[in-house]
Amino acid sequence: MTESTVKEGPQRTGKPTKWLEFAAAIILILITLVVTMQIVCRYILQELPAWTEELSRYLFIWGNFLGAGVALARSSHVSIDTLVTRLSASVRRKLETVVVILVTTFSLFLLYKGVGTAVAMKGSYSITMHFSMAWVFAALPAAGLIFVLYQLHTILKRKEWVSTFVSAIGVVVLTAALMFIGKYMPIPSGFLIIAMVCVVVILMAINTPISVTIGLACLVYLLARGNIQLLIAPITIIGGMDSFVLLAVPLFVLVGDLMNTGGITERLVNFARALVGHMRGSLGISTVLGEYIFSGISGASVADVSAMGSLLIPAMKRGGYRPEQAVSIVASASAMGMLVPPCIPMVVLANLTNLSVAALFIAGFVPALCMAVPLILLIYVQAVRENIPLERRQSAREVLVAFRRAILPLLTPVIILGGILGGLVTPTEAGMIGVIYALILGVFVYREIKPRDLMPILVNAASLTGMILLLVGTASLLSWIFAAEGVPGLLATLITKLSSSSAPFLLITIALFVVFGAFLEGLPCLIIFTPILFPIMGHFADITPLHYGIVMITALGIGLFLPPMGIGFLIACALGPVNVEKATRAYTPYFVVLLIGALFVAFFPWFTLVLPRLFSLV
C-alpha cells in the first residue's frame, strides 16, 4: 500500500530481542499477579495491603519502557509514511538514516538525563514500601540504553556510513546551535512554540516514530528556551505514565488478544449472525451487531477491525457483497465501536481530564447506538437495491445453539462493566478480572489457547502497551509546555472572539479529531489536543465535560477510519484485500452516516448523559 500506515516492521526474533521480550512478559505477569492479589485481599480477605497499588504502578513504569524497547526492536512504533512512500528508493534510504540518527539522539538523551534523574531521586523514598525512588526512575536510563543498543545494531546492519556520519554531524551542530540560542539569544515564547510545532510536522513527515517526534520537539523547545532544567523532561515523562488508572490499558489489550486466540470472537459473531441471518443484508448487519458486542470487550478499534475483518470480510464476499463494500461495512462498524466500552482511549482520556472512567464507559452506549442504527439502515437499503441474496433463516434450535455457545463470552462485558458501574472494582481490577475470565474460557473451557500461545500474547500486549505509554509520556511533556506557555488560554480567547456560541467550538473539535485522528492515529491525537481543548470547553456553560469527552471519542473513531490515510481503514483494505481508491468510493456513504451520527451526538447531549444520570454518575 502507498498510503499512510502504522509502521509494522519485521518481527525480529534474534537472541537480544528474545531476552527483552521475556523480561517485558515477566513484568506483565508480575503486574497481573499483584493486581490479582489486590482483588483477593480486598474482596476475600477484606483487607487491602497498602503496598499493592504502589508496587503495580512501579512495575508498570518498568514494563512500559521495556515494552517500548520491544516495539522498537519490532519496528512497530506508530509513524506516518504518507510522504516517504512517494519518494525514490535512494531518497527513502537517506531519510531512513536520518530517522535512525534522530531516534538514537532521543535514546541518548533518555540514557543521559535518565541517569541524572535516578541519581537525583536517591534521597526520595516510596510512601508505603520505603525503597529509594532511584530504582523506579532507573527504568528511564535502562530504556535509553536498550534503545541505543538497538539503534547501533541498526546502524551497523545498514552500513550507510556516509549518510549516517552526515546526519550525526547535523544533529550535533543543531544541538550546539540550540544551546547557544538558549544561553545567549533569547527568543520570544510564541516563536518557540511555532518552531516546536514545525519540528513535529517535519519529523512526522519523514516517518519518525510519533513518540520520538514529540520528545525531540520538546527538547528543541527546552534547549532553545535555555532557562528550564532538562531534568523536567524525564520527570514529566515518567509522571505521565505513573497512573493506576492507566494500568487498565495492558489488561484490556490482554483481554482482546485472549479472546481472538481463544475462539471467543468467532462465537460472538456467529450468535449475531444467527439473530439476523434471515434479513436482507444480514451479514453486514451482523457485522455492526458483532462489533457492538465485541468492542465492549477488546477495548481497541484496531484490534476490532483486525478480528472482525478477518472473520466477516471473506464471509460477506461469499455472500454477494462487493469486496470494497464488505471492507466499508467493517470499517464503519469499527469506527462506531470506539464508543462501546471498555475503550482504551476512554481510559487515557479519564487520566488526562480526571473524568470518571465509569461515567465515560456508560456514556458511550447510547451514542454508539445513534451511529449503529443508521449504519444498519444503510446496509439494509444497499442490500435491497443490489439484491444481495438472503441467507437461510436459522431455526429456533440453531439460534439457541448459537446463544448457548456465546453465553459465556457474552458475560465478559457484563462482568467487566458490571463491576465498574456497581462500584465493586476499579477499571484496572475489572480488566484483571476480564483477563482471568478470558483465560479460563480460552484455556480450560474451549481449549483453543495452548501453553505455547501465552508468551506471544504477553509479548504483544507488552509491546503495544509500551508503544502507547511512551506516547503518553512524551505527550505529557508537550502538554506541560503548552500549559506553561498559556496556549489553551490564547486559543480560548480566539475561539470565543469568533463566536460566543458553543456550536462552532463543537464543530471545530469534530473536524480536528476526524482529520488529525487519521494522520496521528487515535491516541497521539487525543493526548496532544485534550490538554488544549478541555480548558477551552470550560468557557461554554452548555457543554459538560462528560459530553465533550464523548464527542472527542466519537470524532476520534471516525478519524481512525478516515480514507485514504486512516490506519483502521488501511487495515480493513489490507484484509479485503481491495484497492484503497475503490474502497474510498464505496466507503463515502458510510462516512457521511458516521458524520451525521457525530453531529447528532454533539448537539443532542441528552443521548450522552441519559445513562450516566440514571446511574447517578453525573
The yes-or-no verdict on residue 218 having pLDDT over 90 is: yes
Report the pLDDT value the prediction gives residue 502, as an integer from 0 to 100: 87
Mean pLDDT for all residues in the chain: 84
Kindly report which listed range (294-298, 401-405, 516-520) carries the lowest average pLDDT score.
Answer: 294-298
Report the pLDDT value the prediction gives residue 11, as an integer from 0 to 100: 44
Report the pLDDT value the prediction gives residue 321, as an integer from 0 to 100: 84
List, as one string, the DSSP characters of 41-94. Answer: HHHTSS---THHHHHHHHHHHHHHHHHHHHHHHTT-S----TTGGGS-HHHHHH
Report the pLDDT value the prediction gives residue 16, as an integer from 0 to 100: 58
Report the pLDDT value the prediction gives residue 250, as an integer from 0 to 100: 86
Report the pLDDT value the prediction gives residue 174, as an integer from 0 to 100: 94
Q: Which distant-in-sequence residues (6+ apart) come within 8 Å of 51 by Cβ?
A: 128, 129
What is the CA angle 243-249-254, rounded to 5? Answer: 140
The yes-or-no verdict on residue 7 having pLDDT over 50 is: no
Report the pLDDT value the prediction gives residue 520, as an integer from 0 to 100: 65
For residue 132, list its beta bridge partners: 125
pLDDT band at 215 (very low <50, low <70, confident <90, very high): very high
pLDDT in tens, 153-205: 999 988 889 989 999 999 999 999 999 998 888 888 888 989 998 998 899 88
pLDDT band at 303 (very low <50, low <70, confident <90, very high): low
Kindly report which listed range (287-301, 351-365, 519-533, 550-564) carries the lowest average pLDDT score.
Answer: 287-301
Question: Residue 138 has which C-alpha cell?
Answer: 532507573
Report the pLDDT value the prediction gives residue 2, as an integer from 0 to 100: 31
pLDDT band at 124 (very low <50, low <70, confident <90, very high): confident
State the average pLDDT over residues 113-126.
Answer: 88
Which secondary structure element, helix H or strand E, spans residue 102, and what is its range? helix 89-120
pLDDT band at 517 (very low <50, low <70, confident <90, very high): confident
- The amino acid occupying position 285 is I
The yes-or-no verdict on residue 4 having pLDDT over 70 is: no
pLDDT in tens, 27-83: 999 999 998 888 888 778 777 777 888 899 899 999 999 999 998 888 877 777 767
pLDDT band at 271 (very low <50, low <70, confident <90, very high): confident
49 vs 91, higher pLDDT: 91
The yes-or-no verdict on residue 1 having pLDDT over 80 is: no
Q: How far is CA 347 from CA 224, 300, 325, 526, 618, in A?
A: 34, 11, 32, 11, 17
Q: Are 1 and 574 in contact (CB under 8 A)?
A: yes
Report the pLDDT value the prediction gives residue 302, as an integer from 0 to 100: 60
523 vs 181, higher pLDDT: 181
State the average pLDDT over residues 336-347.
Answer: 85
Q: How many CB atoms lie within 10 A of CB 133?
A: 18
The yes-or-no verdict on residue 542 having pLDDT over 90 is: no
- Three-state SS at 194: helix
pLDDT band at 307 (very low <50, low <70, confident <90, very high): low
CA 8 – CA 5 distance, rounded (Å): 8
pLDDT-above-90 percentage for the chain: 30
